[in-house]
Structure 1
Amino acid sequence: RALMEAWVGRETLSTSLPPSQLALDPGDVVSLANDGRLIDYRITKINDALSRGIEAIRTDAALYDLPPGQYRAVTLPTATVYGPPEVALMDLPQLLDSVPPHRPYAAIYAKPWYGTAAIWRSATTSGFTLLDTIPQAAHMGVLAADLPAGPTSRFDLGSELMIDLSSGTLTSVTDLELFAGANTLAVESAPGVWEILQFGNATLISAGRYSLKRLLRGQRGTEDAIGNLVLSGAKIVLLDTSLQPLSLAVADLGIAWNMRTGPASAAPSDTIMQAQSFTPNGRGLVPFAPVQARLRRLANGDLALRWLRRDRALAADSWVLMQVPQSEASEIYDLEIMSGGAVMRTVTGLTTPAFTYTAAMQSADFGAAIPSLTIRIYQIGALGRGVPFATTLTIKESL
């Protein structure tokens, strides 16, 4: 620009002005017509005598314009407004060998997503400390229709699970993929109680709404969560890689923690934070319910009761292992003999999956021989009784 000014300024002008131009001063720019075009000069000096003489140099206002360039639309950035998250803190059975069984899980969803979410905790209502950060939004939703109770240990072909999913897509899978763990979700059948189930067939009904069929109910020992009707609106969470194990120790179990969940960029006291109380109970350490109870009356009138042990280890479903793994320190059972809703007899500390209900015990409990027996069996773990196996057995007579 300085070079162009010097080049244009080589041309100078000396002339006299009429009295009508007395208002002009040094620094003013005048335009003179020359050969059909106007040329600008900047006055540098004025000589007042019989006439007013001026000296000027050539100038060009175009020298001070911005150079031409590509047009760009300029818009002001808009601030992203975050809302409170949808949060599910879940006390679940162990889902991965790499995650200790006592640790619960967190699922967090927000739209727009925060980039990273954070969970803070405190045993009181102040002094919150950071527990975990979550880099990925979970795939969550709600039941779009009531879910009835269903069978366990086999396909539920009669029930339909209708859900509204907030994000993500669902697809059908083969039975082999299903048995390998695909298409697993959790349904909150009661506050803090989660049923784990799988679905083989997924049909898109409308935007975000799916019909799920060919169900496997009560997976990972959660058959205790399917006894009642689950109402529409209950939370559902896909159990995939977006699920976050919480960094809680065994010593943290049983404590009612105050949790704050929201954007990692916000303080735990921010109004955007979702506040809730959560008491982890170590569901992953709870023994599964026993199965396949059998009852036979012996010749002396005693009843011989037997059952099979299940284990909470992920490897317990293996067809390769010679023996089912044992996650508990020792094999111990409690047995309750029922009459209606009343407990008639409690037997504790059984070290084998068997019990002989003698004729004398039957007489003391019921006063006479009985055609059937209602029982509850618990395997004992580190935290006490496991999930009960409750059934009514018809007594088979010995040959």
Structure 2
Amino acid sequence: MATLVLTAVGTVIGGPIGAAIGAVIGNQIDRAVFTPKGAKGPRLDSLAVQGSSYGADLPRLFGTMRVSGSVIWATDLKESTHKFGGKGKPKTTTYSYSASFAVALSARPVRAVHRIWADGALLRGAAGDWKTDLGAFRLHLGDEAQAVDPLIAAAEGIDATPAHRGLAYAVFEDMQLADYGNRIPSLSFEVEADDGSVSLATIAAILSDGDVGGEGGPTLGGYAASGDSLRGAIEGLATALPVSFADGPDGLHLANETGDPATIDAAELGAFAADAKAGAKLAIDRQASGTLNEALTIGYYDPALDYQVGSQSARREVSARRAGSIDLPAVVSASSARSIVEARLAREWAGRTSAQMALPWRHLDIETGAIVSVPGQSGRWRVTERAFESMALTVTAQRLPASSTDVLPASGGSGLSQPDLVQGPTTLALLDLPSLGDDPPTSPTLLIAAAGSSAGWRKAALTLSLDDGASWQALGGTAPPAVIGQAATLLASSGSALRDEANSVDIALLNDEMMLAGSDAIGTSATANLALLGDELIQFATAEQIGPRLFRLGGLLRGRRGSEWAMAGHAIGERFVLVDADTLLPWSLPLSVIGHDVRVSASGVGDTEPAEIAITFQARALRPPAPVAANATAMPDGSIAIAWTRRSRAGWDWLDDTDVPLAEEAERYQVTVLRSGGTTLAIATTGPSATISPAQFAGIGGSGALTIQIAQIGTTAASLPPATFTFSPGV
């Protein structure tokens, strides 16, 4: 820097006086060297997307900042093939794509990377948790001991791969691109370069390798220094902040405006050397108010808005009609930005008054940026210019506003910050339900529900095994998160004909984002508030929240869709799943699976180990519900007449004066009669009745009551369990 060089030369030539003269000359040259003309300094931008331009300027980060970075290395897209189906199902081939690439973040070392956004959506949370399937991620901090990245070295060769020491960069390995249109998304990173906030003086000292001195200055939450020079790197800050830099015997430094002002005696005004040209002792100039701003607005990066651009304004009740704006390309809070713009506007109005003083040469130690008092004038004044000619010193100073350290309260507004919710582990539920629609299904279908114990859970990859885990096939991704929980209290048994107003059950849901609400529609809709509790399907009219994630369900309709058999088998801790078609993934299975175990595994980004669950699949949607109103009557001829009422897989809506549809190829039943110590009697029939003849009854043998089971034989499978009751002959 010219100032520093000339100051040093002046000291060598003429001691302290020579140093002061050198500083004055250096100040003039420095202004020419660091003229704003053609500069490329930082400016406020709304988080521009990452680039990959050759020779692009890389920022030097301070504090914590959100940056886009620059792609410095990338592979071609990698294609992967996935085949689904088999074992009686048509095969389908799908393709997925991934890419590996490196993004430069800072031209100086950093401490950590916290949140990461991809196409504006949160990809990684502050806790380091990933919101979607990513692949591998590595961060190189940029220290001088930094080793080469193994992936880049494997692709380019170890001898052709630089370690990029002094450059902080991130490497994504096989990042899955399906969520981003099979392209590398636009990424931005929350990077922590220094521990906590950083002062302007610290930034200037580091950028200048210690050549710019001074202490303090405004404290910033983060700053990305860029530009083609030191001036370019800090001019955006110096322009927006109420500070000034000054030249002195030791070089450029941040002016300290808080110390005691240098005193100038009125008797010294106009005192010159004998050969000096006379000038005005003191001249006061006051700028017209019409040329000043009545209001001033500052733009800045607001950490409370995920580092999006915030805005704060200051206004003075004056006659001016102008409004100005400034950009502060740094991270500050809303309150700090408010204080800065207030101080900046106050500085502009105080600085409308300037003073020019003629002083003797012995005041050459008054530097540009020094704080002085002006004889006969109130307040503190900052020296903005000084000239030394013919042993006469002319100093120009501007009035400073009254100092204030108050941080004004302010709000950055309510932005669209994305919730940073941890994904957490996956919870699975496998549902083998009766038919839920109007048209009965014709193939076995397993319903898969998934959710997370944390509210941030979104999806997981599923695999299925039909051979007890010996082999697995991919099913793709889960449906949207289901409402899953477990019973916190025991639900007592009840009837299924009327609403159960005597019993209630408390349900503890998986996470705080899940909710349950009552519904008046359960009396007219067979699907409103339908839920699986244990193995019983229920509907609930009321849902009262009685604690965090805890809901009390009442006004129950029990044993829905033929699940009366499960009403007496409840237990604390049993599963609860809200039956919502949008949150259930259906998967068709072969008929050969009926009666065998099916295993499903789920792996999400929050799972350290895959979640796995098994079910003995009975294809209940293919089975007619068990008959109802079964009874037996002893006839005078010694026979036993058995009768029942048929139900249907397609008959869940109220129908007036009409039998429910059969929904099967033919009407068939299997009646099974058992007796203690006797043999089993099986009767096949095509109508809702059967008769045990006296000879058949005698052939059963044994003693005690008869146990009678009635199952309707459907097109594919029979009722499970069958309708069961006991009958005592002769009673």
Q: Same fold (TM over 0.5)?
A: yes
User: Aligned-pair distance for 1:155?
Assistant: 2.0
CA displacement at 1:259 relative to structure 2 = 2.4
464, 467, 470: which one aligns with 1:121: 464
Report the counterpart of residue 52 of structure 1 in structure 2.
none
Offset, 1:358:
2.3
Q: Residue deviations 1:161-195, cap 9 Å, x none?
A: 1111234322222265554421111012xxxxx21
> Which moves more between the two structures, 318-327 or 277-286?
318-327
| Structure 1 unaligned regions, length at least 5 | 1-8, 23-29, 43-55, 189-193
For 1:112 and 1:214, the matched residues in 2 are separated by 28
* Aligned-residue offset at 1:127: 5.7
Question: Match for residue 360 of structure 2?
Answer: none
Q: TM-score, normalised by structure 2?
A: 0.42
Contact 1:286–1:385 under 8 Å retained in 2: yes
Alpha-carbon deviation of 1:394? 6.9
Which one-letter code corresponds to 2:637 in the other structure? N
SS in 1 for 2:587: coil
Q: Which residue of 2 aligns with 1:131?
A: 475
Deviates more, 1:106-115 or 1:316-325: 316-325
AA aligned to 2:629 is Q
Q: Work out whether residues 197 and 219 of structure 1, in 8 Å CA contact, stay in contact via their aligned partners in 2.
A: yes
Q: In structure 2, the residue corresponding to 1:74 is in which secondary structure?
A: strand
Match for residue 187 of structure 1?
533
> Would you say the 8 A contact 1:105–1:243 is kept in 2?
no
| Paired position in structure 1 for 2:579 | 239
Q: Specify which of 593, 600, 604 is matched with residue 253 of structure 1.
A: 593
Decide whether aligned partners of structure 1 residues 278 and 373 sit closer, same or farther in structure 2, where only a CA change above 3 A counts. Answer: closer
1:104 to 446, 459, 468: 446
Amino-acid identity (%): 24
Counterpart residue number, 1:356: 691
TM-score (norm 1): 0.73
In the other structure, the counterpart of 2:26 is 40
CA shift in 2, pair 1:115/1:206, >3 Å: closer
Q: Taking structure 1 as reference, are residues 172 and 257 closer, same or farther at Cα in structure 2, changes over 3 Å only?
A: closer
Aligned pairs for 1:281-300 within 5 A: 281-300=618-637
DSSP-derived class of the 1:220 partner: helix
Take 2:533 and 2:10, find their aligned partners in 1: how far apart are those partners?
Answer: 97
**C-alpha deviation, 1:87, in angstroms:** 0.6
Task: Identify the match of residue 146 of structure 1 among 490, 496, 514.
Answer: 490
Q: CA offsets, 1:235-278, max 9 Å, x none?
A: 10111144323322334623544422123x79xxx844213334
Q: Is 2:719 aligned against 1:378?
A: no
Structure 1 residue 339: Cα displacement? 3.2
Q: Does the 8 Å contact 1:40/1:59 carry over to 2?
A: no
1:388 maps to which residue? 722
Partner residue, 1:80: 129
- Whether contact under 8 Å (1:144, 1:162) holds in the other structure is yes
Q: How many residues align?
A: 349
Matches within 5 A, 1:159-178: 159-166=503-510, 167-174=513-520, 177=523
Give the distance between the partners of 2:526 and 2:470, measured in 1 at CA: 44
Instruction: Tell me how far 1:41 sits from its aligned partner.
Output: 6.4
Cα deviation, 1:174-223, whole Å, max 9, x if unaligned, reads: 265554421111012xxxxx211111222221122121122111111111
Q: Which residue pairs with 2:355 in the alignment? A: none
Mean Cα deviation higher: 204-213 or 343-352: 343-352
Alpha carbons of structure 1 residues 18 and 212: separation in structure 2 relative to 1, 3 Å: closer
* Residues 185, 196 of structure 1: 8 Å contact kept: yes
* Coordinate RMSD, CA, aligned: 3.9
C-alpha distance 354-178 of structure 1, shift in aligned 2 (>3 A):
same
The CA distance in 2 between the partners of 1:70 and 1:33, in whole Å, is 42
Q: Which amino acid aligns with 1:74?
A: M
Secondary structure in structure 2 of the residue aligned to 1:310: coil
Q: Secondary structure at the match of 2:576?
A: strand
Change (3 A) 1:68 1:351: closer
- Quote how far apart the aligned CAs of 1:145 are: 1.0
CA distance in 2: counterparts of 1:91 and 1:18, whole angstroms: 92
Question: How far off its partner does 1:67 sit?
Answer: 5.4
Find the residue that maps to 1:376 and give its secondary structure.
strand
Deviation at 1:96, TM superposition (A): 2.6
- Please say if residues 99 and 245 of structure 1, whose CA atoms lie closer than 8 Å, have aligned partners that are also in contact: no
Residue number in structure 1 paired with 2:102: none
Residues 145 and 39 (structure 1), Cα distance of their counterparts in 2 relative to 1, 3 Å cut: farther
Give the 3-state SS of the residue equivalent to 1:236 in structure 2.
Answer: strand
SS of equivalent to 2:658: coil
Residue 546 of structure 2: aligned partner: 205
Deviations 1:127-175 (A, max 9, x none): 6432142241110111111222222232222222111123432222226
Give, in whole Å, the separation in 2 of the partners of 1:213 and 1:57: 81
Cα separation, 2, equivalents of 1:18 and 1:393: 121
Q: Distance in 2 between matches of 1:295 and 1:245?
A: 43
Please name the residue that 2:12 is paired with. Answer: 20
Does structure 2 conserve the Cα–Cα contact (< 8 Å) formed by 1:31 and 1:41? no
Distance of aligned partners of 1:358 and 1:177 in 2 relative to their CA distance in 1, 3 Å threshold: closer
| C-alpha spacing 1:284/1:132, structure 2 compared with 1 (3 Å) | farther
CA contact (8 A) 2:496 2:557 kept: yes
Question: 1:307 aligns to what?
Answer: 644
CA contact (8 A) 1:143 1:162 kept: yes
Query: d(CA) in 2 for partners of 1:272 and 1:65?
Result: 51
Task: Please say if residues 670 and 684 of structure 2, whose CA atoms lie closer than 8 Å, have aligned partners that are also in contact.
Answer: yes
Verify the 8 A CA contact 1:138 1:237 in the aligned structure 2.
Answer: yes
CA deviation profile, 1:282-302 (whole Å, cap 9, x unmatched): 111122111112333333232
Asked whether the equivalents of residues 334 and 346 of structure 1 are also in contact (C-alpha less than 8 Å), the reply is no
Q: Which has the higher strand share?
A: 1
Match of 2:433 in 1: 92
Change (3 A) 1:123 1:292: closer
